């Protein structure tokens, strides 16, 4: 037996490692480890006021910061029985979509493009004035600008609190954005071809896993009360724990969802398929995730434009924030992060302090799918250099976000290594 | 002039500081001409060949023995080592929840806790000399770009040592603390962000850390006036300075 180790994984967010276990020269098994330092977020929220939560949890991850902030606010609003004013919902959606735009642009143009262009990094491409890289950086900047206008800051936005938003973006800023969005809708399609072209990628097995996304009506959906599965089921978000069965595994710092028998796939590809957008041809296998992200870039631009129009129709004194009184309660919010399903769940005590916090991130959900996809795609490959190269491509196609995945974990007396599925965890201690 | 050989290392953090650097989209081509990234895992797949470095940027706090080993090795290689962001400077958000780490890990990993040695997240300065600290959660993109410019000229950038209130007054903002009685941390927080949050009418959360000689007692009193309870004040004031309860 021989083990090929890829460590550190590069051009992905966070510290990860892949062990390819070979037997008689052939790939026999795979282990994906997410080995970030512990963050213990769910633990450090305990006992804090609900009002502090959004500003803390957005710091789980900088790429997904907007969606963490909004998802936590939504879960807490549900727990406290608060309804957010409609104008605030519009600004929040704009913020989250700005995050999707920046994240997809970062992934495709900064992390994947070097593979297609055969260079080590985006810096080389930017230096040499590679047209796609230059345009991609501009697109990423647009996503950042949307987040800055809607959220006040690109990384760790400040505008979202429990109860709504704190201020309305200035008319000058939204008018400038609307202009940029209109220009981009004309130029964007020309930038996406190489990510959609099956010829850009190695050969691939079909993508593994039951697709999982927030249920919607075929449009670009960011949040909702039901989860949609490719086996035809529709599950209320509040049943997420029974569905996902997260467990502690010995080789990873992240909780794992599912098992080799029940594999989940979440992310742009799952959203694409579950929304019935199959008509567009995507690259094969898991590389379809890159293609689906490219498709979402177009949808996101269009949606941002209509949100800006919608925002303009609210009167200048439209309410943005409702007062929130500390109280007890329980709330669960599911949202689509750029990388897939994100769940925030909180229980508050009678003083509005966090008694239980549970956060499920897309990369933790996809962990098993990454392992199986490597096994499926690399079956029969014997050249070690090719194994390494293609394994890196496959992992990258999932667009993992390892900081998010290891926000971490609790689970009363959970046996480690036994693989027992945790059900009905009801206490933080 | 040969390009600056630099490395970007990251420990317990959210990657926000390196993302803030990558958000300098229009400066990247110019930076790319002057920098030689020896290791920068988020964006670069090249293998680290070892050897001396002009600059190492370090993001995140140290919370595991292997992180410490790596930090010491980086310090030996680096002419200039810069701690980037609150986690590297004070422990930041990671240092919250100062419960007994082992108990917490035991809860997380059960009997396997011993196999995952970890200690309370520490700022870099506990272990190695740090040549410069760029404050912020995250630091401003312009500060990161300015750092490279200053280093190329053989120096280090000069950072403000006065509070956010100075910049806030320069921008002629309404004082949220005095005039709106909102719990703004501007008076005790290091400037350099151009009073970003108060300029949107949003209180300063103190992400750039304490200004030298901060009058914390007076700030505490003002926050009590703004209607916060003692427990929440301690929690908010300590959030980015490694003192969070």
Is beta strand B4-10 parallel, antiparallel or unpaired with respect to A354-360? unpaired
Distance of alpha carbon A139 from alpha carbon A141, whole angstroms:
5
Flag if B41 and A250 touch (Cβ within 8 Å): no
pLDDT over 50 (residue B3):
yes
Q: Cβ contacts (< 8 Å) between B44 and chain A: which residues?
A: 10-11, 120-121, 123
Q: Which residue of A has its CA nearest to B103?
A: A429
* Residue-level pLDDT at A244: 87
C-alpha triplet A137, A107, A93: angle, nearest 5°: 85
pLDDT over 90 (residue B173):
yes
Q: What is the pLDDT of residues A289-304, one digit of tens each?
A: 999 999 999 999 999 9
Flag if B116 and A410 touch (Cβ within 8 Å): no
C-alpha triplet A289, A295, A299: angle, nearest 5°: 130
Q: What is the mean pLDDT of residues A349-374?
A: 93
Q: Which residue of B has its CA nearest to A59?
A: B14
* Residue-level pLDDT at A411: 35
* Residue-level pLDDT at A406: 65
* Residue-level pLDDT at A415: 28
ipTM of the complex: 0.94
pLDDT over 50 (residue A56):
yes
* Residue-level pLDDT at A120: 84
pLDDT over 50 (residue A416):
no
Distance of alpha carbon A184 from alpha carbon A182, whole angstroms:
5
* Residue-level pLDDT at B120: 87
Flag if A11 and B42 touch (Cβ within 8 Å): yes
* Residue-level pLDDT at A38: 78
* Residue-level pLDDT at B106: 65
For residue A266, give how far its alpha carbon lies from the nearest alpha carbon of chain B (Å).
Answer: 21
* Residue-level pLDDT at A428: 32
Flag if B201 and A253 touch (Cβ within 8 Å): no
Q: Cβ contacts (< 8 Å) between B63 and chain A: which residues?
A: 37-38
Q: Cβ contacts (< 8 Å) between A43 and chain B: which residues?
A: 97, 99, 104, 107-108
Q: What is the mean pLDDT of residues B155-180?
A: 96
- Name the residue facing A63 among B15, B31, B63 (closest C-beta): B15
**Which of the pair, B162 or A220, is modelled with greater confidence?**
B162
Flag if B201 and A153 touch (Cβ within 8 Å): no
Q: Would you place residue A427 in the very low, low, confident or very high pLDDT band (cuts 50, 70, 90)?
A: very low
pLDDT over 50 (residue A426):
no
Average pLDDT over all residues of chain A: 89
Compute φ and ψ for B185, nearest 5 degrees. -95, 10
For residue B210, give how far its alpha carbon lies from the nearest alpha carbon of chain A (Å).
Answer: 18
Flag if A40 and B97 touch (Cβ within 8 Å): yes
Kind and range of the H or E run holding A25: none
3-state secondary structure of A348: strand
* Residue-level pLDDT at A35: 81
Q: Would you place residue A40 in the very low, low, confident or very high pLDDT band (cuts 50, 70, 90)?
A: confident
Q: What is the mean pLDDT of residues B200-204?
A: 96
Q: Would you place residue B97 in the very low, low, confident or very high pLDDT band (cuts 50, 70, 90)?
A: low
Is beta strand B4-10 parallel, antiparallel or unpaired with respect to A26-34? unpaired
Flag if B14 and A62 touch (Cβ within 8 Å): yes
* Residue-level pLDDT at A140: 96
Q: What is the pLDDT of residues A157-210, one digit of tens each?
A: 999 999 999 999 999 999 999 999 999 999 999 999 999 999 999 999 999 999
Q: What is the pLDDT of residues A259-290, one digit of tens each?
A: 777 899 999 999 999 998 876 689 999 999 99
Q: What is the mean pLDDT of residues A70-97?
A: 98
**Which of the pair, A90 or A219, is modelled with greater confidence?**
A90
- Which of these ranges, A297-306, B39-48, B85-94, B124-133, has the smallest mean pLDDT? B39-48
Distance of alpha carbon A58 from alpha carbon A341, whole angstroms:
16
* Residue-level pLDDT at A219: 76
* Residue-level pLDDT at B244: 67
Asked if A336 contacts A216 with a C-beta cutoff of 8 angstroms, the reply is no
Flag if A409 and B116 touch (Cβ within 8 Å): no
Q: What is the mean pLDDT of residues B200-221?
A: 96
* Residue-level pLDDT at A90: 97
Q: Under 8 Å CB-to-CB from A172, ≥6 apart: which residues?
A: none
Question: Considering only CA atoms, which of B92, B46, B5, B203 is closest in space to residue A62?
Answer: B92
Quote the crossing angle between the two packed helices A86-105 and A288-313, to the nearest 10°: 150
**Which of the pair, B223 or B1, is modelled with greater confidence?**
B223
Distance of alpha carbon A200 from alpha carbon B181, whole angstroms:
58
Distance of alpha carbon B234 from alpha carbon B228, whole angstroms:
10
Q: Cβ contacts (< 8 Å) between B32 and chain A: which residues?
A: 123-124, 126-127
Average pLDDT over all residues of chain B: 91
């Amino acid at each position: 037996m021989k083990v090929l180790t890829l460590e550190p994984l590069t051009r992905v967010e966070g510290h990860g490692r892949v062990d390819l276990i070979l037997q008689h020269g052939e790939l026999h098994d795979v282990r994906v480890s997410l080995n970030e330092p512990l963050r213990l977020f769910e633990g450090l929220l305990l006992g804090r006021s609900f009002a502090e939560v959004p500003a803390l949890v957005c710091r789980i991850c900088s790429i997904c910061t907007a969606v963490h902030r909004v998802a936590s606010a939504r879960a807490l609003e549900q727990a406290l029985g608060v309804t957010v004013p409609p104008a605030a919902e519009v600004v929040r959606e704009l913020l989250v979509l700005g995050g999707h735009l920046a994240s997809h642009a970062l992934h495709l143009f900064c992390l994947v493009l070097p593979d297609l262009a055969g260079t080590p990094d985006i810096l080389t491409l930017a230096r040499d004035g590679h047209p796609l890289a230059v345009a991609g950086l501009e697109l990423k900047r647009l996503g950042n600008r949307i987040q800055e206008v809607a959220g006040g800051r690109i990384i760790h936005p400040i505008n979202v609190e429990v109860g709504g938003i704190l201020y309305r973006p200035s008319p000058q800023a939204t008018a400038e954005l609307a202009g940029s969005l209109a220009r981009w809708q004309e130029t964007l399609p020309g930038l996406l071809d190489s990510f959609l072209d099956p010829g850009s990628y190695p050969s691939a097995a079909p993508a593994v896993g039951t697709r999982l996304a927030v249920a919607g009506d075929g449009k670009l959906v960011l949040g909702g009360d039901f989860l949609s599965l490719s086996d035809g089921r529709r599950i209320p978000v509040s049943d997420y724990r029974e569905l996902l069965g997260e467990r502690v595994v010995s080789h990873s710092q992240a909780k794992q969802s599912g098992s080799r028998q029940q594999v989940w796939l979440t992310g742009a590809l799952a959203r694409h398929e579950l929304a019935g957008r199959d008509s567009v041809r995507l690259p094969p296998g898991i590389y379809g995730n890159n293609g689906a992200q490219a498709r979402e870039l177009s949808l996101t631009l269009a949606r941002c434009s209509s949100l800006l129009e919608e925002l303009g129709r609210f009167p200048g004194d439209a309410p943005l924030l409702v007062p929130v009184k500390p109280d007890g309660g329980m709330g669960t919010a599911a949202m689509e992060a750029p990388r897939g399903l994100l769940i925030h769940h909180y229980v508050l005590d009678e003083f509005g302090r966090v008694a239980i916090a549970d956060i499920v991130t897309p990369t933790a959900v996809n962990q098993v799918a990454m392992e199986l996809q490597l096994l499926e795609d690399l079956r029969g490959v014997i050249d070690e250099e090719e194994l390494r190269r293609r394994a890196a491509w496959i992992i990258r196609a999932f667009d993992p976000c390892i900081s998010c995945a290891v926000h971490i974990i609790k689970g009363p007396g959970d046996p480690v290594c036994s693989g027992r599925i945790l059900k009905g965890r009801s206490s933080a201690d | 002039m040969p390009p600056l050989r630099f490395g970007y290392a990251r420990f317990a953090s959210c990657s926000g500081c390196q993302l803030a650097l990558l958000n300098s989209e229009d400066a990247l081509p110019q930076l790319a001409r002057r920098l030689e990234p020896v290791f920068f895992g988020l964006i670069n797949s090249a293998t680290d060949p070892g050897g001396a470095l002009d600059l190492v940027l370090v993001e995140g706090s140290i919370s595991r023995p292997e992180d410490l080993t790596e930090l010491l090795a980086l310090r030996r290689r680096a002419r200039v080592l810069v701690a980037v962001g609150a986690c590297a400077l004070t422990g930041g958000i990671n240092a919250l929840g100062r419960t007994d780490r082992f108990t917490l890990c035991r809860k997380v990993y059960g009997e396997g806790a011993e196999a995952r040695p970890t200690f309370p997240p520490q700022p870099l300065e506990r272990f190695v000399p740090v040549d410069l600290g760029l404050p912020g959660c995250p630091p401003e993109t312009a500060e990161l770009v300015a750092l490279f410019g200053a280093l190329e000229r053989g120096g280090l950038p000069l950072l403000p040592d006065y509070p956010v209130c100075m910049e806030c007054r320069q921008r002629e903002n309404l004082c949220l603390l005095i005039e709106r009685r909102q719990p703004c941390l501007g008076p005790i927080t290091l400037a350099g962000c151009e009073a970003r949050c108060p300029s949107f009418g949003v209180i300063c959360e103190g992400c750039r850390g304490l200004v030298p000689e901060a009058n914390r007692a007076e700030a505490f009193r003002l926050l009590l006036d703004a209607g916060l309870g003692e427990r929440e004040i301690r929690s908010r004031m300590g959030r980015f300075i490694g003192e969070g309860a």
